[in-house]
Structure formats: structure tokens, C-alpha cells
Amino acid sequence: MTEFIQQLINGLAWGSIYALIALGYTMVYGILRLINFAHGEVYMIGAMTGYYAVHWGMGTGSLYHLLAVICIAMLVCSLLGWAIERAAYRPMRQAPRLNVLITAIGVSLFLQFSGQYIFGADPKPFPALIENKNVLDLHGVVLSNIQVTIFVSSIVLMLGLRYIVFNTQMGKAMRAVSYDHTASYLVGINVNRVISFTFILGSALAGAAGILVGLSNPTVNPLMGLMPGIKAFIAAVLGGIGNIPGALIGGLIMGVAETMVSGYLSGTYRDALAFIILIIILVVRPQGLLGKSTQEKV
């Protein structure tokens, strides 16, 4: 039982990171109907930014340092997200969806391999931004301060996102654009600006996720974004793509399921699990747990 609760806590921590990445996928998909394959790489750049920020003079040790590093990573990633959309996706607004998807794969590969060239292919030890301490030890169930940090930051970020999407003018515009581009144009919404903003928002969350993953994982490397990116996308599909609470739930389920499988079965099956979940959800309930089904108009 102790072990199970411990696994659950670890899984939820890991799942919150998936959820943060999945939010970016789900928002972009909601607005452009595009699987932004490059999103996983944005998260990688977030982690790399943290690594270099500390190496180039940012101190470590206190909570302020951690906050500063998270802010820098979010800033860099927002810029990157904006640039990707501006350079690669905007010229293709009229193109068939498949072509945009292929471009997205191209951008993802470009970031991976340029990353390998610029940062070097070897894994880098991520600096300890805060010291690892156990804040709670109940009959062997351990909760570390890193996990607390992950939970708190994820919750704060998600509440922030919720506020933006449901309580601001921009959020309203985002929801409008996700229904219909043309109609949004007609009521005076600058659709391109809304799309840029969505990329900025999603990428900022991915940047934060990059730092949080650096806290719990010992190393970072240029290919680290590939698998978590795909898995976070699957989490978004699981929850119902285009649906913000869905991404959260999907991310948590995915994190817990993976930790359980590697804890009780074997780590080698971990990577296959996400895809098995994907296949099951696509066959049983393609619109996801919280999504609505749609039909093509003739």
C-alpha cells in the first residue's frame, strides 16, 4: 500500500508535467486543427535554457533563483513558439492540413538536430536549482520539496491559464477563433494575432515544464523532447483534444499509468504504454474523455 501511494505521488508529479505540455498541444489543435509536432522541442529548449541560464551566471539555491529561471525559460520559449508559428505555419494557412502537419514534423526535426549540433548530443547534468529535501515522511510515503514545487507551479500556471482563457478579452477571442476563423474575422478579431498569442501561451507552459522536469530528472539532452512531446499529445487526445480540462486530466492519467507500469512491471514497456492507451482511446472513444464528436458537413 505504501508503495502504491508513493507511486501515485510520483505519477501525479510526472503527470503534471505532461499536463503542462499537453495544454500547449490542445490549445494549438483547438485553434488550427494542427498537431504541433514541434511542441516537444519547445519544451526541450525550455530545459536547455534553464541549464545555460545557471551556467552563465544565474545562481542556485533559493526559491527566487528557481522562479527567475522559470521566467527566463518561459520567455525564451514564448519567443520560439511565436517564431515557429510566424515562419513555418502562417505561410501555410491555406494549405491542406496534411502539408502543415508535415511542415510541423520538419520543424520538430530541425530543432532536434540543430539542438544536437549546438548543445552537443551528450546528456548534460541539470543543475540543482533547489536542494532536494523531504518535506513529509508518513510511514514511508515520501513527498519531496521538488514534488511540492512541481505541484504548486503547475497549479498556479493552470489557474493562470484558466483566468486568461475564460476571463480576458484575448481568451474570449481565442475561444471564438477555435470555433470559426472566418466568422471571427467578420466580427473584427485579428485572427493571426490570436493564433500567435496561443502559440506564445502554450510555449510558455512548455518552457516551465522544461524547468520542472529538470528539477526531477538528473540530465537534459537535445532529444529529450521527442517522446514526452508525443506522449503529452496522446494525453491531450485522451482527455479530448481542444479541451483544456481534458488535457489536464489526460496528462495526470498518463503520468500515473506510466509510473505504475514502470514500478510494477518493467521500465522497458513504459514507452509502448502511451501508444497502447492511444490506440484504445481512438478505437473506443475517438473524441476523448471530455471531447464532443463532430461530423463533416457535406
Partner 1 sequence: MKQIFVIIVALLILVLSHYLLNAFINPYYLRIILLIGLNITFATSLNLINGYTGLFSLGHAGFMAVGAYTAAAFSVFVSPYLNLSFAFIPELVRPEIFFILSLFLGGMIAALIGFLIGLPTLRLRGDYLAIATLGFAEIIKVFFNNLEAVGKAKGFTGIPGVPHSANFFWIFLIAVICVWVVGKMTSSSKGKDFVAVREDEIASSSLGLSHFKVKMKAFVIGSFFAGLGGGVYAHLEGTIYPENFNILKSIEFVVMVVLGGMGRLWGVVFAAAFLTFLPEFLRELPPPLSILSQFRMILYSLIIIFTMLIRSKKTSWFVKARMAK
Cell triple for 7: 507511486
Contact set for partner 1, span 86-125 (CB under 8 A): 88, 91-92, 94-103, 105-110, 112-114, 116-117
Q: Is 286 in the site for partner 1 (CB under 8 A)?
A: yes
- What do you get for the CA distance between the two ends of the chain, in Å? 55
Identify the DSSP state of 127. P
Length of the chain: 298
Of positions 13, 237, 252, 290, contacts partner 1 by CB under 8 A: 237
> What's the rounded Cα separation, in Å, for the pair 264 and 89?
42
Of positions 21, 146, 230, 247, contacts partner 1 by CB under 8 A: 230
101 vs 164, which CB is nearer to partner 1?
A: 101
Contact set for partner 1, span 170-199 (CB under 8 A): none
* 37 close to 19: Cβ distance less than 8 angstroms: no
**Distant-in-sequence, close-in-space partners of 16: CB < 8 Å, separation ≥ 6:** 150, 151, 154, 212, 251, 252, 255
23 vs 74, which CB is nearer to partner 1?
A: 23
Cell triple for 71: 521566467
- Taking the complex as a whole, the smallest distance from the CB of residue 148 to partner 1 amounts, in Å, to 33
Contact set for partner 1, span 40-59 (CB under 8 A): none
Binding segment (CB under 8 A) for partner 1, from list 28-36, 55-63, 242-250, 253-261: 28-36
Burial of 96 (0-12, 13-18, 19+ CB in 10 A): exposed
Q: Is 25 in the site for partner 1 (CB under 8 A)?
A: no
Count of residues that bind partner 1 according to CB under 8 A: 47
HSE at residue 15, side-chain half, CA atoms within 13 A, is 25
Q: Is 276 in the site for partner 1 (CB under 8 A)?
A: yes
Q: Cell 479541451, residue?
A: 243
> What's the rounded Cα separation, in Å, for the pair 44 and 223?
8
145 vs 221, which CB is nearer to partner 1?
A: 221
- Taking the complex as a whole, the smallest distance from the CB of residue 152 to partner 1 amounts, in Å, to 32
Binding interface with partner 1 (CB under 8 A)? 33-35, 88, 91-92, 94-103, 105-110, 112-114, 116-117, 226, 230, 233-234, 237, 266, 268-269, 271-272, 274-276, 278-279, 282-283, 286, 296, 298
